[in-house]
A and B are shown apart, each in its own frame.
Chain A
Amino acid sequence: MTGPAALKTCDTVPSSKGASPKALTLKNILILGAVVAFFVWSYRGAEIHLSQLFSRDSFEQIVIYAKKLFPPDFSSVVIQEALKGTVETFAISFMGTLMAVTIALLIVFFASRNLIYSGLLYEMEPNKGWKRILRMVPYLIAKSLLNLLRTIPEMVWALIFVFLVGLGPFPGVLALGVHTGGVLGKLFAEVLEDVDSQPIEALQATGANRLQILFYGILPQVVPQFISYTLYRWEVNIRVAAVLGLVGAGGLGQRIHIAISLFLENQLLTFLIFIYALVTVTDYLSAYLRRRFI
């Protein structure tokens, strides 16, 4: 499971380790049984039934709706609106990602263990006990802040920011920036904790201080990966920015929201075509930039 395909829209990055076969012990069987029981319980607990889902009725309703979408409305007014929405979506994702990088870079140096309290940089420190604990405080604060930012989904952030600053693209930028800031912060911290220690040791041996080690030993190692993760998140953010408008935060989503709410299905199809084009172009652009920089 490597490569960007494995990390499409969901936040977490799947582990690249292959699953290793495990013995079928009694404990494992019990866990599996518990999971199945949980599924059955959740299925019975809520009121959705598969038969209803696959009924002729709902299928027909979908077909009727799909027919209404055609033909797409290509009148110049709609095209202009769609273009405006597309550019706005791009702008939201761009500014949101920049804001996210800023937030992540502000927090991440406090949130990686080897930079703030343990490891090579601090092994020479004489008075380890209470100083170490003192250093752990900013680490824990930074970590939990990143967790908080990351845990709340973009859409919920958008809803919150729409309440705080009003409708329009600005709350979308804030929502993307805050949530993605948490995600990038976590990813950046993992990269920082994973740096090769040999250059650092070499620098330390030549008498470099901590700041020098950071700038000449650590940052050159991590910047390519920072850029790569940022581009990947930007790609994700374009998709998200396209739908943030459904809760009132600008971009193509807002046009889609209006088109769906006012039963303007032909316009809706035009906007859908634009979303499709935007997402596809972004994928190619992002792949190109990745090749160029990394």
Chain B
Amino acid sequence: MNRLSPSSIRPSPKSHFPYLFAALFIVVFVDSWRRAGIDPTVFFEAKGRAALWKFLTGMFPPDLSWPFLSLMFRPTLETIQISLLGTIIAVMIGFPLSLLGTNSLIVRGILNDPELLGAPVRRTLRYALYFTARGLLSLFRSIPEFVWAFMFVRAVGLGPFPGVLAIGVAYGGMLGKVYSEIFEGVNHRPLEALQSLGANKLQIFFYGWFPQALPNFVSYTLYRWECAVRASAILGLVGAGGLGQQIEISMRMFNFSEVMTILIILFSMVAAVDYISAKVRALL
């Protein structure tokens, strides 16, 4: 029986890694507990309990009066529009950068080998282009959309604009990265066939590369749009328009029944967008 137990099947456990890892985990845990100021007793003190009670009772019933609902109509539309325009800008930023940031399109592969194999200087230049594009994409996506939004609020003022720009830049970085992965992943046989027929670079790209990548492109972009709807709904917390701004206002006024209503709107909106996006993706 013992011979068949899972532990005897594993490779010999001579490594010190598990012990080191456990020690590190405990140290990090204790330090993090202190630094994160964790204090569960807050909820049991009278003040915390009162706040919790006020919040929970305040949320019900949600404010479904007509004046408030009609007031929320515009921000809801605005949220969808921010996500839509933001995604369009993200494609406009991500697509060109993804072309430059794809190794087999710009440096290696059958498009470039004939030209660049004997030309080290031009090869280096192409590499410079490639790494610049990659660096930009990484910069765009590594700074969270919230920080972008907050900076754009400072730069161009409150309202939906900074939201659109923030989603455009942050999602541009993500889309660009995924696009170039899709480009890298295409089947190279058709490209070789095209080349042996004497097709030029542009023809190879448009007839060999692009048609293969397009369905994945559209599908992933739609998926990102779904994410953008969720993001734009809360970007308003830093002043970038949409429903988030209303949440913040209601929260500041301690109007929890309104918060509840907005959360319901948010939930139905996200569900509707997911449904639409799934329908469109099914068409591809």
Give me the interface of A with B, judged by CB distance under 8 Å.
1, 3, 5-6, 8-12, 14, 18-19, 21-22, 24, 28, 31-32, 35, 38-39, 42-43, 45-46, 48, 50, 52-53, 58, 61-62, 64-66, 87-88, 90-92, 94-95, 98, 151-153, 155-156, 159-160, 163-166, 168-170, 172-173, 220, 239-240, 242-243, 246-247, 250, 253, 256-257, 260, 268, 272, 275-276, 279-280, 292
Contacts of B178 in A (CB 8 A): 5-6
B276-A168 in contact (CB<8A): no
Q: Looking at chain B's contact residues, is the secondary structure mostly helix, strand, loop, or mixed?
A: helix
A156-B81 in contact (CB<8A): no
A8-B155 in contact (CB<8A): no
A164-B52 in contact (CB<8A): yes
Expressed in whole angstroms, the minimum distance between the Cβ of A72 and any Cβ of chain B is 14
Expressed in whole angstroms, the minimum distance between the Cβ of A215 and any Cβ of chain B is 12
The distance in angstroms between the C-alpha atoms of A27 and B177, with both chains bound, is: 34
Contacts of B55 in A (CB 8 A): 160, 163-164
A5-B35 in contact (CB<8A): no
Expressed in whole angstroms, the minimum distance between the Cβ of A171 and any Cβ of chain B is 9
List residues 155-177 of chain B with CB under 8 A from any CB of chain A.
155-156, 160-161, 164-165, 174, 177
Contacts of B64 in A (CB 8 A): none
Q: How many residues of B contact A (CB 8 A)?
A: 79
A10-B144 in contact (CB<8A): no
Q: A19-B281, A260-B150 are in contact. Are A272 and B177 (CB under 8 A)?
A: no
Contacts of A1 in B (CB 8 A): 216, 219-220, 223
A35-B147 in contact (CB<8A): no
Expressed in whole angstroms, the minimum distance between the Cβ of B40 and any Cβ of chain A is 9
The distance in angstroms between the C-alpha atoms of A65 and B223, with both chains bound, is: 32
Contacts of B35 in A (CB 8 A): 87-88, 91, 169
One of B24-32, B95-103, B189-197 contacting the partner: B24-32
Expressed in whole angstroms, the minimum distance between the Cβ of B209 and any Cβ of chain A is 18
Q: A53-B85, A152-B263 are in contact. Are A279 and B177 (CB under 8 A)?
A: no
Give me the interface of B with A, judged by CB distance under 8 Å.
6, 17, 28-29, 31-33, 35-39, 42-43, 48, 51-52, 55, 74, 77-78, 80-82, 84-85, 138-139, 141-144, 146-147, 150-152, 154-156, 160-161, 164-165, 174, 177-178, 181, 215-216, 219-220, 223-224, 226-227, 230-231, 233-234, 237-238, 244, 247-248, 251, 254, 263, 266-267, 270, 274, 276, 279-284
Find B85's partner among A48, A152, A168, A253 (CB 8 Å cutoff). Answer: A48
Contacts of A88 in B (CB 8 A): 35-36
Q: A91-B33, A169-B37 are in contact. List 11 more A-B contacts (CB 8 A).
A: A5-B177, A5-B178, A19-B219, A22-B283, A42-B81, A46-B78, A58-B161, A91-B36, A94-B36, A173-B36, A246-B150
